[in-house]
Structure 1
Amino acid sequence: MAKIFITGSADGLGQLAAQALVAQGHEVVLHARNPDRVQDALGRTPGAVGAIPGDLSSVEEIKHVAEAANRWGTFDAVIHNAGIYRSPSREVFVVNALAPYLLTCLIQRPKRLIYLSSDMHLQGRANLEELARDQSRVSYSDSKLYVTMLCMAVARKWRDVYTNAVDPGWVPTRMGGPGAPDDLQKGYETQVWLAVSDDPAAKVSGKYFYHQQERAYNPQAGDVPLQERFLDICETLTGVPLPA
């Protein structure tokens, strides 16, 4: 049995991944934006062992989420699932990229890390000097490029952790909309597989997956100088360095 923490698991893909992992007998800790959403999350995922509230658009609340997560001890896997789309640009950056950075830094190092990306990251641009000055110009595509860049940097630096990114596809969740064409089940199966499977294909690092198959990712995400500059910017914005 594995112990897993999933951000943004009150609904959508996070909730579906949590339900699948609970059904497999794993110990799952949920996360939701506020206490009311926590109660909704627990009601929708019977068998989850607990849930942590915290608004991931606030650096201080992100830190509180990390503190609460650490009270559960060391996780076997953390799935950085939380994400937003139709919101102000700075909030999109904070929730989609800066929150995963800060939680990665502050939560006790798990055995596996999974970051939710998107095929839209392929259109993202690493405008890092602009990002350092002003986070209000970040597009959704940029934010998903940055979280993919974070994933690849962590995979390079933390060789003892299986660290991978996932494109869940355009699926019919609240974010994706009812007309989204991809398979909803396949949208969450890859992160579940990466979190707990003993399949050798899942016990890898620095990969980008779509429906359990490796895919090519934006070359900017694998550029080491860009990764290092991005980590520097995140450290400056949060006051927290990525542990060696």
Structure 2
Amino acid sequence: MARIFITGSSDGLGSIVAQRLVARGHSVVLHARNPVRAEDATKACSGAETVLTGDLSSIEETKKLADDDYSALLFGAPYSDTADGIPPLAAVNTLAPYILTCLIARLKRMVFVSSDMHQSGDGSLEDILWQQRGEKGYDPIKAYRASKVYDTPLLNVMLAKAFARRWPEGKSNSLDPGWVPTKMGGTNASGDMEAAVATYVMLAEGEEDNAQRSGIYYNPGPTEGRAQASTDDEKTAQERLLQICADFTGMKQPI
């Protein structure tokens, strides 16, 4: 059985997936932003191996989380600079998955939770960390569409494809869970939670034929989805995104 680390697993889809994986015999390491949320995570998934705490909006704390060696997601978050001088959404949804993937060694499988909203994202990668536009130019909906974490629309699909190409020995894929009834999705969400969980579990376990592929964007079901064309651009999209993340975090790009 596998050892699986799930960011943002104190509630929502991450927590449900964690519970399912524990029930299937896997060793699951949970993640929460702070000790209070860690307690919530443990109560919801008592069979987990442990829970690690760390604020993914902080580069320092994200690196510390990886040092402990063991999908967080922001939507519609207001603009307020982190200690690193960028909005929390950009830090959590773009930089954190890059840092964790670079620092946690020998990953066999990587699952990046995205969204169909990535289709309307801006594939130009201009000012994705909102350093030039700042608070006056900040639009949380546009920022979400462009960014989003262990769970990201456009940039998470790009990261999944970039890591799949850079690390062929592992499997790196992204998925759209659909509009499901979580805290973010709301009670009126019409998506199929079971289909979303089943797709997530399939990619985490890596045993089914579909999970043997890499660099794929999945819809719930699972079925292969059609990602925005810009995500397949290796030079001006994937490599440029990796370089932006490397320059800002000081983390060396993956080989």
**TM-score, L = length of structure 2:** 0.88
CA displacement, residues 186-244 of structure 1 (integer Å, 9 cap, x when unaligned):
22221111111421121110100112111110111111111111111101110002220
Could you give the per-residue CA deviations for residues 81-129 of structure 1, whole angstroms, max 9, x where no partner exists? 2111021352212111111011111111211110000000011012323
Cα drift, residue 161 of structure 1: 0.5
Paired residue type of 2:51: A
Answer yes or no: is 1:112 the counterpart of 2:109: yes
Q: Which residue of 2 aligns with 1:93?
A: 90
Kept in 1, the 8 Å contact 2:246–2:253? The answer is: yes
Over the matched positions of the two proteins, sequence identity in percent amounts to 45
Higher mean C-alpha deviation, range 161-170 or range 180-189: 180-189
Whichever residue aligns with residue 193 of structure 2, its letter is: L
Matching residue's letter, 1:164 = N
The residue aligned with 1:82 is 72
**Corresponding residue of 1:75:** none
Q: Return the offset for 1:135.
A: 7.1
| Match of residue 19 from structure 1 | 19
Task: Work out the number of aligned pairs and report it.
Answer: 234
SS in 2 for 1:9: coil
Q: Would you say the 8 A contact 2:89–2:144 is kept in 1?
A: yes
Q: Does 1:243 align with 2:254?
A: yes
Q: What's the counterpart of residue 102 of structure 1?
A: 99
In the alignment, residue 165 of structure 1 is paired with which amino acid?
A: S
Aligned residue type for 2:78: P
Alpha carbons of 1:238 and 1:113: their partners in 2 closer, same or farther (altered >3 Å)?
Answer: same
Separation (CA, whole Å) in 2 of partners of 1:94 and 1:236: 14
**Please, which moves more after superposition, 140-149 or 130-139?**
130-139
Deviation at 1:46, TM superposition (A): 1.4
Paired with 2:22 and 2:172, the residues of 1 have a C-alpha distance of: 22
One-letter amino acid of the structure 1 residue matched with residue 253 of structure 2? L
CA distance in 2, matches of 1:51, 1:4: 12
In structure 1, stretches of 5+ residues that fail to align are: 73-80
Q: Distance in 2 between matches of 1:47 and 1:235?
A: 36
Q: Which amino acid aligns with 2:105?
A: Q
Which residue type is aligned with residue 144 of structure 2? Y
User: For residues 86 and 243 of structure 1, what CA distance do their matches in structure 2 show?
Assistant: 30
Three-state SS of the structure 1 residue aligned to 2:238 is helix
For 2:232, the aligned partner's letter is G
Name structure 2 gaps, 5 residues minimum. Answer: 80-86, 148-152
1:140 aligns with 2:130: no
Determine the structure 1 residue equivalent to 2:178: 169
1:58 matched to which residue of 2? 58
Look up the match of 2:207: 198
- Measure the CA separation in 1 of the matches of 2:188 and 2:43: 27
**In the superposition, relative to structure 1, how do residues 23 and 46 fare at CA in structure 2: closer, same or farther (>3 Å)?**
same
Equivalents in 2 of 1:172, 1:97: separation in Å? Answer: 24
2:132 maps to 1:121:
no
Question: What TM-score results when the alignment is normalised by the length of structure 1?
Answer: 0.92
Structure 1: distance between partners of 2:180 and 2:243? 33
The residue that corresponds to 1:76 in the other structure is: none
Give the conservation status (yes or no) of the 8 Å contact 1:93–1:135. Answer: no
One-letter code aligned to 2:72: A
Question: What SS does the corresponding residue of 1:139 show, helix, strand or coil?
Answer: helix
Go from structure 1 to structure 2 and tell me whether the alpha carbon gap of 1:93 and 1:110 turns closer, same or farther (over 3 Å shift): same
